């Protein structure tokens, strides 16, 4: 194992401890268990819990992405949502606005929401990484590792019943699998007591129209499960 991998694991373990998660290498040896998956931290609601994490993220310099960002793109939506979407990382429009999914991919996502009968205001939306990768490149493993504790805390606080991973990096990060998104999409997974489904990122649909049909098929599966727990 080379030095860079060892350093990455060391940094990730330190971040896990900072955010109150058990040791990522030997979890069964930890005396302290992972926080209860269905519990919002004692004495907080979703909004105040997220605000506390947002203050922790402010000024973050844990990875090289901080050097070029305009804003930290933390997350937006209902802080107590039953349905949460996780994208990959902000683009130029998101970096300007400080909100996820406001550019062309976000506009397409809004149209998909509308077709599925899902109001954007009733869900919570976040990204795996909170700062824009240069030229919208894929986030690097060390950048994902630096931001993952923030994402996990967002999920814990929002406490959604259903998560939708948009794109391969969100899917592979949450599922801890290297399978291509085409193999991961369209089926349900158990993610720490929650239901998780994956689909192509909206930006992929903008570059390849053939992805639109499978995305809509996945959203129909997602919509039906969501309406079973939150009828119109």
The DSSP line for 155-183 is: HHHH--SEEEEESHHHHHHHHT----HHH
pLDDT reported for residue 10 = 58
In which order are the strands placed within the sheet that holds 194-199?
A: 75-77, 124-127, 83-87, 162-166, 194-199, 189-191
- pLDDT tens digit string along 131-168? 999 988 999 999 999 999 999 999 999 999 999 999 99
pLDDT reported for residue 119 = 96
91 with 189, same domain: the answer is yes
Rg of the chain (C-alpha set): 17
223 with 170, same domain: the answer is yes
pLDDT reported for residue 33 = 32
The answer to whether residue 29 sits within a structural domain is yes
Residue 129, sorted as left (phi over 0), alpha (psi -120 to 50) or beta, turns out to be beta
pLDDT reported for residue 1 = 44
CATH assignment at residue 168:
3.40.470.10
Res. 100: pLDDT tops 50: yes
167 with 213, same domain: the answer is yes
Band the pLDDT of 45: cuts 50, 70, 90: confident
187 with 116, same domain: the answer is yes
Band the pLDDT of 5: cuts 50, 70, 90: very low
The answer to whether residue 22 sits within a structural domain is yes
17 with 97, same domain: the answer is no
29 with 67, same domain: the answer is no
Taking the C-alpha atoms of residue 100 and residue 92, their distance in angstroms, rounded to an integer, is 10
pLDDT reported for residue 19 = 52
> What domain range includes position 126?
63-229
The answer to whether residue 130 sits within a structural domain is yes
99 with 194, same domain: the answer is yes
User: In the predicted model, what is the mean pLDDT of residues 58-78?
Assistant: 94
The more confidently predicted of residues 148 and 10 is 148
pLDDT reported for residue 15 = 56
User: In the predicted model, what is the mean pLDDT of residues 8-18?
Assistant: 55
The answer to whether residue 39 sits within a structural domain is no
User: In the predicted model, what is the mean pLDDT of residues 48-62?
Assistant: 94
116 with 200, same domain: the answer is yes
The answer to whether residue 55 sits within a structural domain is no
The answer to whether residue 7 sits within a structural domain is yes
Q: Give the three-class secondary structure for 143.
A: helix
Q: Answer yes or no: are the C-beta atoms of 90 and 127 closer than 8 Å.
A: yes
The tokens of 187 are what? 């089926």
- Average per-residue pLDDT for the chain: 86
User: In the predicted model, what is the mean pLDDT of residues 75-95?
Assistant: 97
Element (H, E) at 219: helix 212-229
Backbone angles phi, psi at 197, to 5 degrees: -130, 150
Domains in the chain, number: 2
The answer to whether residue 99 sits within a structural domain is yes
- pLDDT tens digit string along 163-219? 999 999 999 999 999 999 999 999 999 999 999 999 999 999 999 999 999 999 999
104 with 144, same domain: the answer is yes
Q: Of 2, 4, 13, nearest to 146 (Cα)?
A: 13
Work out whether strand 124-127 and strand 162-166 pair parallel, antiparallel, or are unpaired.
unpaired
Q: Give the three-class secondary structure for 228.
A: helix
The answer to whether residue 176 sits within a structural domain is yes
174 with 79, same domain: the answer is yes
Q: Answer yes or no: are the C-beta atoms of 116 and 197 closer than 8 Å.
A: no
Annotate 120-154 with b (16+ C-beta within 10 A) or e (fewer): beebbbbbbbbbbbeeeeebeebbbbbbbbbbbbb
pLDDT reported for residue 41 = 43
């Amino acid at each position: 194992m080379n030095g860079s991998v060892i350093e990455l694991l060391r940094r990730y373990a330190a971040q896990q401890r900072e955010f109150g998660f058990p040791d990522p290498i030997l979890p069964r040896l930890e005396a302290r268990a992972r926080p209860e998956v269905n519990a919002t931290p004692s004495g907080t609601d979703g909004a105040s819990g997220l605000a506390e994490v947002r203050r922790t993220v402010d000024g973050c310099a844990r990875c090289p992405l901080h050097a070029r960002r305009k804003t930290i793109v933390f997350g937006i939506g209902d802080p107590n949502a039953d349905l949460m979407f996780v994208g990959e990382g902000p683009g130029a429009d998101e970096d300007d606005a400080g909100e996820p999914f406001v550019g062309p991919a976000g506009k397409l996502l809004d149209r998909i929401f509308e077709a599925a009968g899902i109001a954007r205001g009733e869900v919570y939306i976040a990204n795996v990484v909170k700062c824009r990768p240069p030229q919208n490149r894929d986030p690097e493993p060390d950048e994902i590792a630096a931001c993952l504790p923030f994402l996990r805390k967002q999920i814990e606080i929002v406490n959604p019943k259903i998560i939708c991973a948009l794109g391969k990096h969100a899917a592979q990060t949450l599922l801890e699998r290297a399978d291509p998104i085409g193999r991961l999409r369209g089926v349900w997974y158990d993610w720490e007591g929650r239901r998780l489904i994956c689909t192509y990122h909206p930006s992929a649909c903008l570059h390849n129209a053939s992805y639109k049909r499978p995305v809509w098929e996945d959203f129909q599966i997602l919509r039906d499960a969501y309406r079973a727990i939150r009828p119109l």
